[in-house]
Amino acid sequence: MTEAEQIAAVAERFFGAVEAGDASTVEACYDPAVVIWHGHTRQAQDRAANVATLTQFIALTRERRYTDRKIHVFDGGFVQQHLLVAIANGGARLELPAALICAVTGDRITRLEEYFDNSAVIEWAAAPDFA
C-alpha cells in the first residue's frame, strides 16, 4: 500500500466511524498525542477531550452522514471538504458545511484542524425538535 493509499484509508476509517457512532474507532484513529484544533473556538483539544465531545454528539444524534465529500491526499495528510448531515434524536436536522485538514503518520491522525460556522450548530441545538 502506498502512503497516499494508507492516508486515504485512515480518512475512510475515521469518517466511517463517526457515521457509525463508533467513538472507540475514532479514538484508535488518533495518535495518543493528537491535537484537535477548532477554528470556531480557536482552541485545541487533546484526544480524551475530543472523544468525549464526539461521544456526546453521538448520544444526541440518531444519524450522522458526510455528504458531498471532496478529499485531497497530500504527503503526510489530507484535506476533506464535506457537508455533515446529522439528525438529532428529536428529529432536528443539521447541515454543516465543513473542512478538515489532517496530518497523518502511519495509520494515525496526529493533528486535525476543523473549520465550520458554529452558528448552524447553535441554531440546530435550539430547534424545538432537537431533543
Q: What is the pLDDT of residues 53-104, one digit of tens each?
A: 999 999 999 999 999 999 999 999 999 999 999 999 999 999 999 999 999 9
Percent of the chain with pLDDT over 70: 100
For the stretch 13-69, pLDDT in tens is 999 999 999 999 999 999 999 999 999 999 999 999 999 999 999 999 999 999 999
CA neighbours closer than 13 Å in the CB half-sphere of residue 114: 21
Give me the residues paired with residue 93 across strands: 87
Q: Which residues pair with 80 in a beta bridge?
A: 71, 100
Please report the domains of the chain, with CATH numbers, ordered by start residue.
3-125 (3.10.450.50)
pLDDT tens for 100-113 read: 999 999 999 999 99
d(CA 39, CA 99): 10
Choice between 131 and 87, residue whose per-residue pLDDT is larger: 87
**What pLDDT shows up at residue 80?**
98
The amino acid at 48: A
Q: What is the pLDDT of residue 9?
A: 98
